[in-house]
Amino acid sequence: MGTGFSAISISQGRLYTMGNTNEHDIIWCLDAATGRESWKHTYASRLDPQYYEGGPGATPTVEDGKVITISKWGTVLCLAAATGSKVWEHNLWDEGIRSNRWGFAGSPLIWHDLVILNAGSTGTALERATGRMAWFNGTNPAGYASPALVNINGKEIVLIFAAKHLVAVDPKTGRELWRHPFETGYDTNNSDPLVQGDKVFISSFTRGCALLRIHLDRAEVVYEKDVLHNHLSPGILFGDYVYAFNGEAKTKTDFRCLHLPTGEVKWTTKTPAFGSLIGLGENRLLILSDRGELTLAAASPEEFKPLARAQVMGGICWTPPTIAHGRIYVRNAKGVLKCFETIPQ
């Protein structure tokens, strides 16, 4: 698939992801069952490895027969999901909107007739039908997390984990509702906010973590602690417990369980020590380690309870697995993509 960290999106039997080959980004569409190429769209884009392999970090968003992507350097594309034909293209650099040091990485959020992006100071929105600018909030560099849609007392707001703040905006107009300062080294607000009702959990590997109670006009600090330093994968929230990796990639790291209301660490383990994960039904975690080991585990606050393990991939694996229709999809930084069939026990 080419170098990069774009995850796998699956819709109507089609698989979408991105990678970079020879200084060109490629948006791929494959048959999800066979891996056969359906189409691809290629355009010039720098690989730009800096302490990591480089390539695109955002994941394609699929909605209503369209697939929308954003490159590291602000090329936003809307393509027909079935054929790959271009519907529109918008380059954010043409608006003076520059990425942070490691490029844009937040995936597009569809909200009614808008595409909302973590780009610019506190978010940018394009018209979904045309790609024209609907609103934007300045040209300062952004954070790296995907926008998060939250419903507070019947009103929808969008959380933008910006370079130095968590910001709530009105999705229709982009009007800022409130902001909470969260400054980190190199502006590395990378991991998506985890939302539970009227509370949001944020973390960075250079700062620690915080739990906020959010309102339409303000955010209250429940706690800010030094108990979880989230670098890439945001982790999974099951009930009152957060399961996430702690520490900066390629350093001393661990996997741990945190009691969300209090911030108390319930347990830690070094196997796996770093990677990404998704949640499955019935309180199960599907974890892909950075070295390509796939682990099925129970989401238990009592102890780490692995149920099955398999070495499925080589190379660096920071991209979370995808599961759909009885198949598990995994990829590594170099772009090797594998699909496994799950076998009922």
Q: What is the pLDDT of residue 345?
A: 60
DSSP track, 113-145? TEEEES-SSS-EEEETTT--EEEE--SS---SS
DSSP 8-class letter at 3:
B
Delineate the domains of the chain, giving CATH numbers in brackets: 110-226 (2.40.128.630)
Classify residue 212 by its DSSP letter: E
Query: What tokens appear for 260 in the block?
Result: 């969300």
CA dist list (Å): 48 to 75, 102, 139, 278, 286: 15, 8, 21, 28, 30
Residue count of the chain, please give it.
345
The predicted pLDDT at position 141 comes to 87
User: CB-side exposure of 264: number of CA atoms within 13 Å?
Assistant: 7
In sequence order, which residues have a C-beta less than 8 Å from that of residue 104 and are 6 or more positions away? Answer: 57, 58, 70, 71, 72, 73, 74, 92, 117, 118, 119, 142, 144
pLDDT of residue 290: 97
For the entire predicted model, the pTM comes to: 0.96
Name residues of the chain where pLDDT drops below 50: none
3-state secondary structure of 340: strand
User: pLDDT value at position 164?
Assistant: 95
Our CA dihedral for 13, 81, 292, 277, rounded to 10 degrees, sits at -90
Cβ pair 143, 117 in contact under 8 A: no
pLDDT tens-place string over residues 212-231: 999 999 999 999 999 999 99
- What is the structure's pLDDT at 227? 97
- Surface-to-core class of residue 315, CB atoms within 10 Å of its CB (0-12 exposed, 13-18 middle, 19+ buried): middle
**What is the identity of the amino acid at 6?**
S
- Token pair 């024209």: residue: 132
Report which of 142, 146, 168, 167 is spatially closest to residue 156, judged by C-alpha positions: 168
CA distance 196 to 126: 28
pLDDT of res. 22: 98
Q: Which of 20, 68, 24 is nearest to 43 (CA)?
A: 24
Query: Residues 229-286: pLDDT tens digits?
Result: 999 999 999 999 999 999 999 999 999 999 999 999 999 999 999 999 999 988 999 9
Residue found by looking up tokens 């056969």 in the block: 36
Tell me the residue type at 75: T
One DSSP character per residue, 139-184 reads SS---SSPPEEEEETTEEEEEEE-SSEEEEE-TTT--EEEEEE---
Closest CA to 150 of 165, 174, 122, 171: 171
Q: Quote the tokens at residue 46.
A: 């720098």
Mode of pairing for the β-strands spanning 124-127 and 133-136: antiparallel
Contact 110/68 with Cβ under 8 angstroms?
Answer: yes
